[in-house]
Structure 1
Amino acid sequence: MTTTTTPPVTLDIGKLWEALGLDAPMATEFESEIEFIARAYDPKNRSVSKLSAKERKALYGKIEKSASTLLAQLSHLPPSAEWELEEAGFALEPEGFDEAIMDTENEGLGYGEFLVEKLQAALPELNVLVEYALTEHKRPRARPKQNQSLEDTITKLGKVFEYFTGDVPMASYSYNEIDQERPYHGRFFDFLYAFFWSVNGRQFPTSHTIGDTARRVFGLRK
């Protein structure tokens, strides 16, 4: 009987070390740590949980009702609430927002107005999506959203990051929703991108997936 082995992953270890932002020669054990993690990483390893038909109907019903309620509320905001949201938008506007919407249909909108209009446009589309999912997929076939291997790998990379830098992985990061390609920013995320996008040979998983999973792994979201 012949056996097959997975070929070793080609990684730019030097680039990964640079992503840590350390002004020091690469530690000798760093390469072996990264290669060990890369061999264990399996992007196809997903954990699956299925919902019953009753659970699916209840879940989608709640989503549709919540979306419809929110749309109605946003469409009939009192003038005072509109003003308060606009003022809040000025205070929370991310850096580069005006430049990002320049020469688009959103040019001239404040950040608060932009978010409200974005939601108003997306909520009806969400309800169409929910209705289609409920009616077209009669059998409950839950597509897994949590990739166990991805979570495990991010956990391991977090330990490597903390060991060599002395910094907590998620202690300092930022999120910019205007940056669709890389909304999550920070040294730890630079390190994660360098690893995953090198291992997979493309920008996979996306920055959104990596960031959301990292936040869940480190207890910053459910």
Structure 2
Amino acid sequence: MAFHEVRFPTTLSFGAIGGPERRTEIVALASGFEERNTPWAHALRRFDAGMGLRSLDDLSAVIAFFEARAGQLHGFRWKDWSDFKSCLPSAAPAFGDQVIAVGDGQTRIFALRKAYQSGATVYHRPITKPVAGSVRAGIGGDEVFPDINYTVDHAAGRIIFNEAPEAGADISAGYEFDVPVRFDTDRIAVSVASFQAGQVPDIPVVEVRV
């Protein structure tokens, strides 16, 4: 399977329904207590691309995109309108949004991540598909600049500094990002008459690990 570095039309993903899915294994004990465990370190996101369709032209665009990806075969980028920034949805990404690592004086390559905090609990989500031109970075509280101080691997979600940041310095970043996904079906079934009457097809999309 290949991954195509192309984004599903954002005008169509805007109306989609979806979000993160976790997998939890629950065992009920004889005492009435439960044991809970998960085989997943990270959530997978699922969406319904059909919910964003509003016209036959939209449907035609989705079918063309589906055919170009060969159904489920090839992955692609998806903009999750509910969660696509390193900051709050109402703000613009800034270099200090997320602390992604601490320098050790030797490492030059750092993976992007986003922190989700509730109380004392923090979950770090790997960000593998940053949007080109959106990444800003900082070292030790000072902004550094692309090409002059670093480059970005937009296909893998990594910042590559020209020189290793000094030991103990916080490495921070701000960015917009996409979700790597694929279609979760090899078939799109639609009746034009039903579609014009308001019934949209189900076109499931699921996040993939990359």
Considering the TM-score relative to the shorter chain, is it more than 0.5? no
User: Does 1 or 2 have the higher relative contact order (CA < 8 Å, sep 6+)?
Assistant: 1
> TM-score, structure 2 length as denominator?
0.22
Higher helix share: 1
Q: Which of the pair has more CA radius of gyration? A: 1
